[in-house]
Chains A and B, each alone.
Chain A
Amino acid sequence: IAGITQAPTSQILAAGRRMTLRCTQDMRHNAMYWYRQDLGLGLRLIHYSNTAGTTGKGEVPDGYSVSRANTDDFPLTLASAVPSQTSVYFCASSEGPGDHNEQFFGPGTRLTVL
């Protein structure tokens, strides 16, 4: 593994189903983030984690949950998917939560909820 990986690459999901998007980084970064990217809108922060064992809510957290059991993994769960959650999801990480820390992004997961 080099950098950040996400799985699956893409997924079509029926409304009401539960889905977990996986994210793993091997850079030993403390901070991790989940964003969604929709056409015409900027990246929007869903949830974040400043260090293993802690999580926080971003701009659009409703309908999503996260956990950070260890440094490397930061899964995002949709408990009951709805069509408005159709989007491209990016996981990112940075050395820390503070300023000047650039964020490194995974390749993204394209999710379609029907």
Chain B
Amino acid sequence: GQNIDQPTEMTATEGAIVQINCTYQTSGFNGLFWYQQHAGEAPTFLSYNVLDGLEEKGRFSSFLSRSKGYSYLLLKELQMKDSASYLCAVMDSNYQLIWGAGTKLIIKP
């Protein structure tokens, strides 16, 4: 079966760095996406990785290792507005997105 695993909840301090991990087992791989979802709102796109390595975009970076079936999202200089759920999704061989349950990130002052 297809499976995306990520921690249910994480807590971090404002101004700090946090790494959210995602491991996956899917039928085929056509890229990995990270989305941010604030409570009661729609998911919004953060990043896309299809090749191994690190993609940096401002305070957010995303890493992919295809051989390990592993990705992480790194958030630097945390701000209170970063409190949200972070969703990992893998595009499978049918070009459909398989979604993890999301990691709820709580930022404390």
Asked if residues B50 and A42 are in contact (CB atoms below 8 Å), the reply is no
One of B52-60, B65-73, B90-98 contacting the partner: B90-98
Chain B 64-102 interface residues, beta-carbon cutoff 8 Å to A:
87, 89, 91, 95-102
Judge whether B33 is part of the interface by a CB distance below 8 angstroms.
yes
How far, in whole Å, are A27 and B30 apart by their CA atoms in the complex?
24
Prevailing SS type, chain A contact patch: loop
Q: List the count of A-B residue pairs having beta carbons below 8 Å apart.
A: 48
Asked if residues B41 and A107 are in contact (CB atoms below 8 Å), the reply is yes
Number of interface residues of B (CB under 8 A): 22
Chain A residues lying within 8 Å of B96, measured Cβ to Cβ, are 45, 48, 58-59
Chain A residues lying within 8 Å of B97, measured Cβ to Cβ, are 43, 45, 103
The residues of B with any CB-CB pair to A shorter than 8 Å are 4, 30-31, 33, 41-45, 48, 50, 87, 89, 91, 95-102
The residues of A with any CB-CB pair to B shorter than 8 Å are 40-45, 48, 58-59, 90, 97-100, 102-108
